[in-house]
Amino acid sequence: MNVTDFYDLPRPASHTLHEDVAADDRPREKAKRLGFTALSQAELIAVLIGTGSRGEHVVELCKRILDDHDQRFGHLARREWIDLLRAYKGIGEVKALQIQAALEIARRYHLEDFDNDHQICSSAEAYAYLRPRMEHLTHEELWVLLLNRGKRVITHERISAGGTAMTVADIKMILKPAVNHLAHGIILAHNHPSDTLNPSAQDDNLTERVLSACRTLEIQLLDHIIVCRGNRYYSYRDAGRI
């Protein structure tokens, strides 16, 4: 075979953003014409990773990934990059890292609206502050928000991290930051990775113990929030239990 014959051979099929798709339907071209708000969820991911795999176009691959995560970026954010690499042909190390980096950028972008001077006057506002920090976690964590007399956040601290079902709750460690920062009140918070909304008996016991200790130290326990995904949370204050 001479050089001319070699170059005349048909090219193997490759699956990029620019092949097998009408020009107007290419995600990058579509974004340039109409803006990123015109792109579907799958198309947004397709712009990030660029190519699919042999036999599956990049947009179809991204649709399949989203289908496996209930069409929610929040669910996808809970996956480790190594899990994506193992689960999907066409997703290599670089692509998996790109997806997770983009989701982390989105999370941090949302956090910019909630600095430490943010005022919290309701359970909904407390959840809005906590959600981007805790919703994506695959293990349980216990946090405390420290508020001043004007109900503005002084700071927040993670007290402990545990497994998928429970975390360690040390009353002294919970209240130490409040004493150190001379907080007027605190909001206790933990997440349920299982997304079970109702508190457990251990949650009830912790709330009672913290409430008792706060009374002794003349610190207000303003609420105990259980963080779940999908704009769902449980508030002990709203339930009339604090």
Q: Is 156's pLDDT higher than 70?
A: yes
**Cα 138 from Cα 193, distance rounded (Å):** 6
> Which position has the higher pLDDT, 204 or 12?
204
Q: What share of the chain has pLDDT > 90, as a percent?
A: 60
Q: Whose CA is closest to 207, among 217, 221, 228? A: 221
- Give the mean pLDDT of 104-130: 84
Averaged pLDDT, 104-127: 83
Helix (H, G, I), strand (E, B) or coil at 123: helix
| pLDDT(4) > 50 | no
Token pair recorded at residue 22: 């009408």
What is the pLDDT, as a whole number, of residue 5?
Answer: 44
Terminal Cα-to-Cα distance of the chain (whole angstroms): 83
Read off the pTM: 0.64
What are the structure tokens assigned to 136, written together? 């994506």
CATH number for the region 123-235 comes to: 3.40.140.10
Mean pLDDT of 204-208: 95
Question: Could you give the CA distance from residue 97 to residue 159 in angstroms, rounded to a whole number?
Answer: 29
Q: Quick one: pLDDT at residue 222?
A: 98
Q: For 217-237, what is the mean pLDDT?
A: 95
User: How is the chain split into domains, by residue range?
Assistant: 8-111, 123-235
Residue 113 confidence (pLDDT): 67
User: What pLDDT does residue 24 have?
Assistant: 43
> What average pLDDT does the structure give for the chain?
86
Q: Which residue has the tokens 């706060």?
A: 214
Tell me the pLDDT tens digit for each residue of 60-89: 999 999 999 989 888 898 888 899 999 999
Secondary structure (H, E, C), 161-200: ECCCCCCCCCHHHHHHHHHHCCCCEEEEEEECCCCCCCCC
Question: Do residues 207 and 188 make contact, with C-beta atoms less than 8 angstroms apart?
Answer: yes
Residue 153 has pLDDT above 90, yes or no: yes
From 216, 128, 206, select the one nearest 169 (Cα to Cα): 206
- Mean pLDDT across the stretch 190-203? 93
Model confidence band, residue 185 (pLDDT cutoffs 50, 70, 90): very high
Predicted local confidence at residue 155, as pLDDT: 94
Strands 220-228 and 232-235: antiparallel
Is the predicted pLDDT of residue 10 greater than 80, yes or no? no
pLDDT band at 216 (very low <50, low <70, confident <90, very high): very high
Q: What mean pLDDT is predicted for residues 8-28?
A: 52
Q: Please check the confidence at residue 25 and state whether its pLDDT lies above 80.
A: no
CA 8 vs. chain centroid, Å, equals 50
Cα(191)–Cα(162) distance, rounded to whole angstroms?
Answer: 11
Structure tokens at 83: 């899990």
Mean pLDDT in residue range 116-124 = 88
- State the DSSP code for 118: -
